Amino acid sequence: MAEPLILALDQGTTSTRAILFDRSGLALAEAGRPLAQHYPADGWVEHDADEIFEASVAVLREAVAKAGRQMAEVTAIGVTNQRETVVVWEKATGRPIHKAIVWQDRRTEPLCEALRKAGREAETTQVTGLLLDPYFSGTKIRWLLDEVAGARAAAERGELLAGTIDSWVIWRLTGGKVHATDATNASRTLLYDIRAGTWSGAMADMLGVPLSLMPQVKDCAADYGETEPELLGRAIPIRGVAGDQQAALMGQGCVRPGEMKATYGTGCFLLVNTGETAPVSRARLLTTVAARVGGRTTYALEGAIFIAGAAIQWVEQGLAVAGGPQAVEALAMGARPDHGVIMVPAFTGLGAPWWDAGARGALFGLTRDTGLAEIAQAALDASALQTRDLVEAMRADAPGAFANGVELRIDGGMSRSRWFSQRLADLTGLKVCRATYQETTALGAALFAGLGAGVYESVGAAAASRPATEGFSSVIADGAREASYARWLDAVARVRT
């Protein structure tokens, strides 16, 4: 039999990409297209849903062609996506009623604030694991129904469909035959009961979103139909779907309780697998679905760092350091030992576990001999120290997941640096495992599709295809680590409102 090939579609915030993988998780070829960003008002961010679909078809074709393979060799497609971005479209025509509203969009803050003031957040968190925030999809759907002329009436007549980007792409790829999503994406909508595993009528009533719009919720490895033959040259089964961070969790092989990954980009997303337990966080972390396979749901705690790599960009641009991130890192490596400088990069407030939107960035510990090198190191250290904040909060919320110790598996742009990876191990005290292949999100989608297509016999077998890692352990004294963290906590206290 021919070797099974799996095609992953990774639809992200700034680009749409496809990667062709073999059974071992080796990438054979990839293709990508940038995605235009639309900013119609302050705090509003939109995408063109038709552009996303057209780019998806183009990159799926191109990746296979670049590998010198044929579509007939592709066993299945896996889809991963920017999770909370939402589309509403006409069932009869497939025409979006408005541009897609992106996860970054803040236009529904007044609605969220009104619901918080009405005392609805505790109920929301208990049912969905989430907070009342414009980040999530439900309030975006409500806005579209209320603000697009005729939309609510059309929805009540059963003429509209809604979904996150995975649902939109699948609906288009299957010629409108399949309206479905997976449990990970559903868990980011504010409409899904993460413990019952169903759409929540109570949340739908609270948000004013008819559940008739919403897709069927399936496992991450499941039958999502087949692509229309004319799109890719033949009908190809779609057999795996997961939101981007959960796909990366799978791509990093974090399938058992206590296994944890962090993706360092502009910000950072850190998730720890909590198994079949869905803890309620006391630190206002998010409880989310990690995966659902074979009808079995596993959960994760998730924390977001707003500013990670963006702090390096601030040093580069704001302090006129020429040479890009590599130059900032080179400066940091030359900092004086024990300089004591702390940067709190609260440029847009502090995320988990502090949740202080009014906090602003600051530098502490400056002396006459402080220079760019010390500031550069403080910018990089801030990501490590914020990671420790999240790990400490997660350890308190889900002690069982940490019972046997834990390692931190990392990916994303900052993880390409061996120096940062070592610094992360030093300042958190964790064993850090850096993925040698960075596209773990696309790999995770491929692994779920492989499960759904029978290429892998179990979650464990699929996870065994995760990339090799390079390990880093702390080389500094415990006292030095704790002193750095104490300075960090003091600095955070000073910037909080």
Q: Given this model, what pLDDT does residue 153 score? A: 96
Domain containing 365 — which CATH number? 3.30.420.40
The answer on 427 and 322 residing in a single domain is yes
Phi-psi region of 355 (alpha: psi -120 to 50; beta: other; left: phi over 0): left
Whether 401 has a pLDDT exceeding 80, the answer reads no
The answer on 171 and 81 residing in a single domain is yes
Which residues lie below 8 Å from residue 450, measured CB to CB, with a gap of 6+? 4, 6, 23, 75, 76, 78, 239, 240, 456, 462
φ/ψ of 461, rounded to 5, equals: -65, -40
Give the Cα-Cα-Cα angle 247, 325, 468 (nearest 5 degrees).
40
End-to-end C-alpha distance for the chain, whole angstroms:
64
| Best mean pLDDT range from 37-41, 283-287, 296-300, 394-398 | 296-300
Residue ending a domain, among 211, 244, 277, is 244
Q: How far apart are CA 112 and CA 120, in angstroms?
A: 9
The answer on 278 and 228 residing in a single domain is no
Q: Given this model, what pLDDT does residue 438 score? A: 85
Percentage of the chain beyond pLDDT 70 is 99
Whether 492 has a pLDDT exceeding 60, the answer reads yes
Tell me: the pLDDT tens digits for 100-116? 999 888 889 999 999 99
Q: Given this model, what pLDDT does residue 470 score? A: 93
The answer on 216 and 325 residing in a single domain is no
Segments forming the whole domain that contains residue 111? 5-244
The answer on 212 and 359 residing in a single domain is no
Q: Given this model, what pLDDT does residue 19 score? A: 98
The answer on 185 and 327 residing in a single domain is no
φ/ψ of 444, rounded to 5, equals: -60, -40
Give the Cα-Cα-Cα angle 275, 276, 277 (nearest 5 degrees).
90
Burial of 475 (0-12, 13-18, 19+ CB in 10 A): exposed
The answer on 257 and 233 residing in a single domain is no
Q: Given this model, what pLDDT does residue 278 score? A: 92
Tell me: the pLDDT tens digits for 137-169? 999 999 999 999 999 999 999 999 999 999 999
Residue 448: name the closest of 328, 290, 331 by CA.
Answer: 290
State how many domains the chain has: 2
Tell me: the pLDDT tens digits for 334-357? 999 889 999 999 987 888 888 887
Whether 188 has a pLDDT exceeding 80, the answer reads yes
Tell me: the pLDDT tens digits for 4-26? 999 999 999 889 999 999 999 99
Q: How far apart are CA 430 and CA 265, in angstroms?
A: 20
Residue ending a domain, among 244, 276, 310, is 244
Residue ending a domain, among 244, 264, 280, is 244
- β-partners of residue 33 are 16
Q: Given this model, what pLDDT does residue 429 score? A: 92
Which residues lie below 8 Å from residue 149, measured CB to CB, with a gap of 6+? none
The answer on 334 and 409 residing in a single domain is yes
Q: How far apart are CA 92 and CA 95, in angstroms?
A: 8
Where does the pLDDT of residue 324 fall: very low under 50, low under 70, confident under 90, or very high at 90 and above?
Answer: confident
The answer on 470 and 378 residing in a single domain is yes
The answer on 235 and 286 residing in a single domain is no
What's the chain's average pLDDT?
Answer: 93
Continuous H helices in 160-226: 165-173, 183-186, 201-207
Which residues lie below 8 Å from residue 118, measured CB to CB, with a gap of 6+? none
Q: Given this model, what pLDDT does residue 1 score? A: 55
Tell me: the pLDDT tens digits for 216-265? 999 999 999 999 999 999 999 999 999 999 999 999 999 999 899 999 98
Task: Tell me if 36 sits within 8 A of 47, measured CB to CB.
Answer: yes
The answer on 222 and 76 residing in a single domain is yes
The answer on 131 and 100 residing in a single domain is yes
> Which of 191-205, 269-283, 325-339, 394-408 is the least confident region?
394-408
